[in-house]
Amino acid sequence: MEKRNRPNLQFLKRVEQMKKIGLMFLMILMIFSTTVHANSIDSITMDIYIDKYGNAEITEVWECYINHGTESYIELYLHGIRMEH
């Protein structure tokens, strides 16, 4: 009867061995995992021309890295100014 209540030493050794293997696998995965690059903007160039009547022509050139999706956009919030494309 005493034998049933005692934990099986081989089972406990096996559990400890599996923990060590899992920890080693996790460490190797963390070391050799690929880096994730987020979206980034390398440079922004703006050319602005204002004529004698106050009309402005603005050209922006963005050099950026987009790693997800198929497009990127700029949200403009200009109050009281009419925007034309």
Per-residue pLDDT averaged across 40-46, rounded? Answer: 88
User: What 3-state class would DSSP assign to 55?
Assistant: coil
Looking at residue 36, what is its pLDDT?
A: 65
The pTM assigned to this predicted structure is 0.41
Q: Do the beta carbons of residue 63 and residue 42 sit within 8 Å?
A: yes
Q: Are 31 and 49 in contact (CB under 8 A)?
A: no
Q: For tokens 């190797």, name the residue.
A: 28
**pLDDT given at position 34:** 65
Instruction: Tell which wins on pLDDT, 31 or 59.
Output: 59
Strand partners, 81: none
pLDDT of amino acid 6: 66
**Tokens 């890295």 belong to residue:** 65
Which residues lie below 8 Å from residue 50, measured CB to CB, with a gap of 6+? Answer: 56, 57
The mean pLDDT value for 62-78 works out to 76
Give 22: exposed, middle or buried? Use CB within 10 Å, 0-12, 13-18, 19+.
exposed
pLDDT for residue 12: 84
